[in-house]
């Protein structure tokens, strides 16, 4: 495939519509796809364009069709036997060809393993820019351009990035950052099936085997309750107490990066700018100071409870309920109260 010339002049008026690159994992829709549809709809409505979702796979048309329930105008279902499992080259070739052919104005991808893999490749093949890990997307009312905002300089400031001369304008968004699209009552969208030409020789990487991790999966993104521990725990054994509180509340265990760096807990539990972004109904921060990089991953939670022995800790500035005290005294008392009264129903 020929490489695109990045600096060539393009006619911006030739580009239309907002696209979401959807993800199906084992035939199931990845939650980030629904979140991107929600955001994509807002953008497409504000520029008066259509919202399409691209789904790549093999024999998963039924699952792809379900995306119409979320109010998209069209599902572009790209089907090929060689695309049954994710393949970097296969996905990048077919999606970039489709983008070059149909010319969307905006393309959104999840900042997932797949999105982070193909996003930069698509941008390079097409000859456009890509803003990774956006936390806010909006349309500039003066010129209709996409304003892509993301944390910069270690999260100490927010940078708004534009792509003035190239198209499409491409962004990735981490799972859990945007609100999910709601299901609609009456479907008006359609599915278009696209059969790309792809040969085995086009794909240099072959899938030989799939090995499922035996470790318990941490599902912070979907959790309604997240109980996180930080450096205030003082030692790895402190996470037993955090797990107990999480179990009592029916939630998952999260952590600050300091706890991960100390080797007290594994990185999939990390919440924050370089960890997972969560928005549960209840977030309990235990022994976490509330650094801006931690807040970046949890400040959208519905209710935030903070337990910290320092009344000046920044976490108290964003919490709904703050308890100033030693977590080793407060948490056991909370667990006892929850178990006795069983009063928490979320
Ligand atoms: C580029 C970059 C990316 C980063 N990404 C992330 C990220 O994704 N997630 C993240 O969390 N951090 C991230 N960080 C690190 C972040 O800046 C902080 O260093 C980190 O969040 C601090 O973790 P902490 O709150 O557990 O520790 P500390 O800041 O040390 O806070 C510990 C808190 O525990 C309290 N405490 C101590 N003992 C007790 C007790 N017995 N009972 C109750 N409270 C107690 C203390 O008062 C203190 O407030 C990032 C930093 C950079 C530069």
- Residue 39 belongs to domain with CATH number: 3.40.50.620
Q: Is the confidence at residue 343, as pLDDT, over 60?
A: no
Q: Which of 87-91, 153-157, 170-174 is the least confident region?
A: 153-157
Ligand 1 atom 22: the closest Cα is on which residue? 258
* Residue 250 within any structural domain of the chain: yes
Q: Is the pLDDT of residue 2 over 60?
A: no
Q: Give the rounded percent of residues in the chain with a pLDDT score beyond 90.
A: 83
Least-confidence region, from 39-53, 100-114, 329-343: 329-343
* Chain segment 256-293, per-residue pLDDT in tens: 999 999 999 999 999 999 899 999 999 999 999 999 99
Which tokens hold the place of 40? Answer: 């994509």
Number of domains the chain contains? 2
- Ligand 1-lining residues (CB < 6 angstroms): 154-155, 230-232, 256-259, 270, 272-275, 287-289, 291, 293-294, 297, 307-310, 313, 326-328
The reply to whether 155 and 241 lie within a common domain is: no
Question: CA-to-CA distance for 177 and 219, rounded, in angstroms?
Answer: 15
Which residue CA neighbors atom 41 of ligand 1 most closely? 326
Out of 154-168, 224-238, 248-262, pick the least confident.
154-168
- Comparing 1-10, 108-117, 155-164, 262-271, which segment has the lowest mean pLDDT? 1-10
Residues 264 and 137 in one domain: no
Do 318 and 259 share a structural domain? Answer: yes
| Same domain as 189, residue 91 | yes
- Residue 103, pLDDT above cutoff 70: yes
**Cα of 344 to ligand 1 centre, how many Å?**
27
Which of 202, 233, 264 is where one domain is finished? 202
Classify residue 261: in a domain, yes or no.
yes
Distance CA(179)–CA(235), nearest Å, equals 35
pLDDT, residue 345, reads 46
Residues 43 and 91 in one domain: yes
Inform me whether the pLDDT recorded for 3 exceeds 60: no
CATH code of the domain in which 323 resides: 3.40.50.1220
Interstrand relation of 136-139 and 146-152 (parallel, antiparallel or unpaired):
antiparallel
Q: Please give the pLDDT value at position 253.
A: 97
Enter the tokens of residue 213. 């991790």
| Cβ-proximal residues to 317 (8 Å cutoff; 6+ apart), any chain | 290
Q: Are residues 159 and 256 in the same domain?
A: no
Ligand 1 atom at minimal distance to the Cα of residue 307: 43
* 252 and 293 in a common domain: yes
Provide the domain limits for residue 235. Answer: 225-341
Q: Where are the beta strands (DSSP E) in the chain?
A: 16-21, 24-25, 28-29, 51-57, 74-79, 104-110, 130-131, 136-139, 146-152, 157-161, 169-173, 190-194, 225-229, 252-255, 282-286, 303-308, 321-324
Is residue 35 located within the same domain as residue 183? yes
41 assigned to some structural domain: yes
193 & 295 share domain: no
**300 and 232 in a common domain:** yes
Question: Which of 170, 202, 234 lies at the terminal end of a domain, its last residue?
Answer: 202
Q: Which residue's CA is minimally distant from atom 4 of ligand 1?
A: 293
Question: Is there a domain that residue 219 lies in?
Answer: no
In this structure, which residue's CA is closest to atom 40 in ligand 1? 326
Tell me, what's the pLDDT at 8? 66
Check whether 218 has a pLDDT greater than 90: no
Q: Could you give the 3-state DSSP secondary structure of residue 232?
A: helix
Give residue 288 CA to ligand 1 midpoint distance, Å.
Answer: 5
- Same domain assignment for residues 133 and 170: yes
Burial, 154: exposed, middle or buried (Cβ in 10 Å; 0-12, 13-18, 19+)?
Answer: exposed
Q: Would you place residue 6 in the very low, low, confident or very high pLDDT band (cuts 50, 70, 90)?
A: low
Residue 5 has what pLDDT?
Answer: 52
**Residue 156: pLDDT band with limits 50, 70, 90:** confident
Alpha carbons within 13 angstroms on the beta-carbon side of residue 1 total 22
Query: Does residue 133 fall inside a structural domain?
Result: yes
- Residue 156 shares a structural domain with residue 298: no
Does a structural domain hold residue 58? yes
Does the structure show a pLDDT above 60 at 331? yes
Residue 73 near residue 97 (C-beta atoms within 8 A): no
Specify whether the CB–CB gap between 296 and 314 falls below 8 A: no
**Is residue 210 in some structural domain?**
no
Measured in degrees and rounded to the nearest 5, phi and psi for residue 109 equal -130, 155
Confidence of residue 1 (pLDDT cuts 50, 70, 90): very low
User: 60 CA to middle of ligand 1, Å?
Assistant: 43
In a domain, 7, yes or no: no
* Average pLDDT score, the chain: 92
């Amino acid at each position: 495939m020929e490489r695109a010339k990045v600096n060539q002049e393009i006619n911006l008026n030739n580009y239309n519509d907002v696209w979401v690159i959807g993800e199906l994992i084992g035939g199931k829709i990845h939650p980030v796809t629904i979140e991107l549809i929600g955001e994509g709809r807002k953008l497409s409505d504000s520029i008066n364009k259509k919202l399409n979702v691209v789904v790549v796979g093999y024999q998963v048309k039924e699952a792809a069709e379900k995306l119409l329930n979320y109010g998209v105008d069209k599902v572009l279902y790209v089907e090929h036997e060689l695309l049954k499992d994710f393949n970097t080259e296969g996905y990048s070739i077919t999606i970039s060809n489709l983008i070059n052919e149909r010319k969307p104005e905006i393309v959104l991808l999840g900042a997932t393993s797949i999105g982070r893999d193909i996003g930069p490749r698509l941008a390079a093949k097409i000859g456009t820019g890509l803003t990774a890990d956006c936390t806010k997307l909006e349309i500039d009312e003066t010129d209709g351009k996409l304003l892509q905002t993301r944390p910069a300089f270690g999260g100490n400031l927010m940078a708004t990035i534009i792509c003035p001369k190239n198209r499409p304008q491409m962004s990735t968004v981490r799972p859990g950052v945007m609100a999910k699209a709601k299901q609609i009552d009456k479907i008006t969208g359609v599915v278009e099936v696209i059969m790309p030409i792809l040969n085995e020789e086009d794909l240099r990487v072959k899938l030989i085997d799939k090995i499922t991790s035996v470790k318990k999966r941490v599902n912070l993104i979907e959790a309604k309750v997240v109980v996180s521990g930080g450096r205030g725990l003082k030692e790895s054994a402190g996470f037993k107490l955090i797990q107990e509180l999480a179990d009592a509340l029916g939630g998952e265990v999260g952590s600050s990066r300091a706890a991960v760096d100390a080797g007290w807990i594994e990185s999939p539990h990390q919440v924050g700018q370089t960890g997972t972004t969560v928005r549960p109904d209840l977030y309990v921060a235990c022994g976490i100071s509330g650094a801006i990089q931690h807040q970046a991953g949890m400040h959208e939670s519905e209710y935030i409870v903070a337990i910290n022995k320092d009344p000046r800790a920044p976490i108290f500035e964003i919490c709904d309920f703050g308890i100033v005290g030693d977590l080793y005294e407060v948490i056991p008392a909370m667990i006892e109260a929850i178990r006795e009264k069983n009063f928490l129903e979320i």
